[in-house]
Structure 1
């Protein structure tokens, strides 16, 4: 069995599965924009293995059979399971997010079952919305999030994907996007979402450092007793301080300065 995975095309598919797994991990950690940025590379891996497969020569029939099934599983994970996890996370377990996630998983499974038996409509169009459009749609939604009402964004996103879940199994001709357009959009959107996540993280660190520096004198003067369970270490104040670690306690600050 492992020898079939040594095929170069299957290696690309497995790399896409790795990106999907990492995206799921980051999504469950709460960094949804970064998770979408990673999942875009899983979608690109899916398109790349198709390009390489069309140009490959002398590929063994066993590797091709394994690759066909492997591609279907990879497509389901990044195209249905990942968006469903994002909806559940951003909806905080609401009934609407549960229904939208269920609709995505069921419609994705039905669509892939249909495609594996009857194939695509033609080279220029899909019959129904392809699963590979789900992650780019997520990326567009998160890129537009700053201009949308924050409190209603989860509801809008769930409703959007409820409609797209219906489109997955609809008898509607959907034009296939060019590979160059998909690649350009995915790389650009992934970079934009990653940059925004890192910028937000840097702003959070600066705010935490400012809070620690402003409260350092007060924390030193009102140092908790040794038996206080929230006090983790001694407060060390030095002119050569380079970093700050902050941990919020229930009744006191835990401020530790590293030289």
Structure 2
């Protein structure tokens, strides 16, 4: 006769079963874009890295939008999806920018503190959000991490306008500023999920893709 713990264990779904959940598919697609962004950052093909970074944001927004509109998702589906999203966020918005900064600085150890600060701020912010959630129904405490990618891919458009040394300073000051805003007490609106903002991000994503795609030619 099975014990209660054995029965509970038998009722647990297979780990891989959550992959068929459409919002999780979007999350994993965003992770694939993030891997490409990391890969191209290490290679120094920054224009391709920027495309991967902005599409990571687009898929991140898409998974939440789909999840809110889907019917029949169980509580475990929602919990799993939320945890998956948080884990991918630390890679997309913490690890990836840190690697970008190190690569652009030609992996000089002097840039390690800046990369650490940005990654640490991302980890602290995500831990805070998973503990307390939104400050109210529509606002975050601190700047949401997806804004890091949105800002960095825009800043990078001007890379060729300035000498390398000057743009390096601009990039690193921007990174430190974003990290400070991530862990600040300012209240920022929740942009994702608002139809108008979704359209704006869609336009921005395709625009950024077009700009950097042209630069790659």
TM-score by length of 1: 0.73
Aligned to 1:71: 85
Aligned to 1:130, the other structure's residue is in SS state coil
- Do the aligned residues in 1 keep the contact of 2:37 with 2:96 (CA within 8 Å)? yes
SS at match of 1:53: helix
Structure 1 residue 95 displacement after superposition: 4.4
Please say which of residues 70-79 and 91-100 is displaced more in the overlay: 91-100
* Structure with the higher helix share, 1 or 2: 2
CA-based RMSD of the aligned residues comes to: 1.4
**Structure with greater contact order relative to length (CA < 8 Å, sep ≥ 6):** 2
So what's the TM-score if we normalise by structure 2? 0.86
Give the aligned partner of residue 129 of structure 2. Answer: 115
Instruction: Go from structure 1 to structure 2 and tell me whether the alpha carbon gap of 1:124 and 1:66 turns closer, same or farther (over 3 Å shift).
Output: closer
Determine which structure has the larger strand proportion and give its number: 1
- Rounded to whole Å, the distance in 2 between the matches of 1:187 and 1:135 is 15
Whichever of the two has the greater Rg, that structure is 1
Given the alignment, which residue of 183, 191, 207 partners 2:210?
Answer: 191
Say if 2:18 is the partner of 1:12.
Answer: no
Q: How does 1:89-238 map to 2 (within 5 A)?
A: 89-177=103-191, 178-198=197-217
Q: Is there any run of 5+ residues in structure 2 with no aligned partner, and where?
A: 1-14, 192-196
1:213 alignment partner in structure 2: none
Can you give the 5+ residue segments of structure 1 that lack an aligned partner in the other structure?
Answer: 199-259
What is the CA deviation profile of residues 134-160 of structure 1, one whole-angstrom value per residue up to 9, with x for unaligned ones? 111111111122322332111220111
